[in-house]
Structure 1
Amino acid sequence: MGGRRTRLDLGVLGVVGIRVNNAAQAADVALRGARAAGLQVLTSQQVVIGSDTDSIPVAVDGEALTMPTPVTCSIRPGALRVLVPRIRPGAPAAGPPMHWREVVSLAFSRRRPGRAAEDRADAERAP
């Protein structure tokens, strides 16, 4: 059911809503995950959670709290800086190392006009 995002600083909240009325529907969510009928996955920049009670239990950064309703959650792009280890499960493999001397050499090498045709001719003559 959990997902992965390549970036966390784009200003998008992930919202997961689950509606179950009985044990069979709860089992459906547990077994089918994101494909379950009782599950909705959305994204937004702001979410307002209302209730017919004055307060609701919430978890903020793993801490259990009770907050007055409505609860408004919002996000700003770039507001949170997250540092993660370079080598971690699910991280894409690093590309080959950059050879800066070659990059600089290519960037500052100057070719004379018409040189590309001469290079091709030299390559065709080479064994």
Structure 2
Amino acid sequence: ASGYLERPAGAPPWSAATHARFKAAWRAQYTGSGADVGGTPILEDGMKFTAAQQSAKDLQYIESRKLTRQEVAAAYHIPPPMIGLMETATFASLKEQHKSLYTDTLGPWLQRIQQALAANLLDDFGPEAAGMYLEFNIE
């Protein structure tokens, strides 16, 4: 069994003999090939066993979260490494996907915002706005 045993914080300390007895009983149930191997442990003093591995339910939840992130990234044309899905990312591909984020994903949005700002703000300057323009600095 992969895990650890917890004793309550207020439990009285065990004597060396009690500790040795419990340790021997635990090992007899989970190691070797004795008659008690695989038996049900009896925990003392309000102890509880905490598994040190993830259950199938936990792993399924993690996988479903990854899938949701992948689907959202695909819907908005965002490269998966840009939202933390790094399974297939390398340094070179990450650099290219970063460029892709600004050109393919954010580029059209930034262009629309630029045009809206130019239409609404530059007209307020009147004739002085002849040489003015708005542009996002994506460097």
TM range (shorter): under 0.3
Report which of the two has the higher share of helix. Answer: 2
Q: Which has the higher contact order (CA 8 A, sep 6+)?
A: 1
Report which of the two has the higher share of strand. Answer: 1
**How high is the TM-score relative to the length of structure 2?**
0.24
